[in-house]
Structures are given as structure tokens and as C-alpha cells.
Amino acid sequence: PKPADGQTGAIFASGTGLSEPIGLAVGPDGNLYVGNYNGGAGSYVSRFDGATGAHLGTFVPGGSVQFGGALAF
């Protein structure tokens, strides 16, 4: 998709505390989902607005996934 008005597309999502983002997927809702490896049991999946890149929160909380990669819908 094209960057939102006023955005360059250089950085889409940032400032959310992701330490080791390892898995990316675009969901059926058009949002971006990022798996973050955080020491195994603490791994989690964050959700970002597909148009603006705004962080929408944690989709799957830490401790619920053992590995934040290989995302699929």
C-alpha cells in the first residue's frame, strides 16, 4: 500500500518497545502484525494500523506464544 498522506514510507511503525521483531504478516483487516521474540515464553504479537502505522496494542500477550515468528492468517 501507499504511505498515508504526509508520510514518506521510510519508517512505518516505531517506538513500541519491540526488541527483536522477527515475524510480519498483514491480517485480513489490513493491519500489520509483528511477532517479537522476547526470550521465548515472553514473546508476543503487536498490531499496527495498516494505513498509518500507529501502534494498536498487543494482539497476543507475552507468555501466550513461545515464538513470535511465522505469523499467518
With helix as H, strand as E and coil as C, how does 11-72 read?
CCCCCCCCCCEEEEEECCCCCEEEEECCCCCCCEEEEECCCCCCEEEEEECCCCCCCCCCCC
Mean pLDDT of 41-63: 84
| Global confidence as pTM | 0.74
Residue 41 has pLDDT above 70, yes or no: no
Question: If pLDDT is split at 50, 70 and 90, which confidence band does 26 have?
Answer: very high
On the question of pLDDT at 68 being above 60, the answer is no
